[in-house]
Structure 1
């Protein structure tokens, strides 16, 4: 006898980031025709699973695109592909700014390994270490600093930080059940602590 199916399964990470994108103002659609693209009208197209690498995820893709929006500013929601031109002379430093932003925000939750990019700029990401915002003469650093500040304001706040915190909780639990060294959950690291003793990202606001 056939049964009535009343629910469908969605990967928890995907659910978190689809919901975060929706709250921030984006509709996410999967497509075989693009890796990642925005139409300037509120739609973010992400490649379907067949277009992604084995260590990639819908969650990471959405997070990466949101970091692009942080770098480019709120006006970028009304521009195709955040107003970026991947053939332009300034494309590389804008991508670097996005990755610096991604490094800092993911690092606050121990998620750098889980949310590492899988694009041609992965070599730049892998070379990042220490204070990635130290060189204030670098335009990508200047833009990343502005982007990280924007993350504390609407439309990104509080949804982006809530999604990162929820992802960190799930990732930590999954890591505890993962003996295989080649599974991505093993890349989860301990969340850094603020001098107050709180984990980074536990509270909103800034010191001083």
Structure 2
């Protein structure tokens, strides 16, 4: 995984023309920590001594699976501690970075059932879930004919629903009926392949 220092610095609000020396130093420190974390997270050492790269998507899937298996109260405490660490470390300027949170972690922040998160944090988590849905749709609609794209996307939504935690389903507003409707559409409107038509 390649992450540029300038992109990480800009994510921490660093601007060479308007940032003070103190802010620049804090931004560099935070960026270097993030880069180090990204490198260590995406490269592991195998028993043979060779390095094995793990894609960001694979890491995200592993994090989501791990978070889905945790008790919700444990995950809530972990997320609260992670956000507090960002504020304490000065890496959060106005709002925390929710980019590394799993869908379930975002849902717990968005639902905020126990009142452990601020209104701003809850809004940011809801926005992140909406953006994830939007990106998923844009990606699915990238190429091919409209019917097959919609059928594939509907199939993807049904599979996503099946793998989601109850909290994430609730935060996204996805019901069992939503899942069934998408599964039915994927089955009934999938275009036959060229092989089937021969």
Q: Same fold (TM over 0.5)?
A: no
- TM-score if structure 2 supplies the norm length? 0.30
- RCO higher in structure (CA 8 A, sep ≥6): 1
How does the TM-score come out when normalised to structure 1?
A: 0.29
Greater helix fraction, Structure 1 or Structure 2: 2
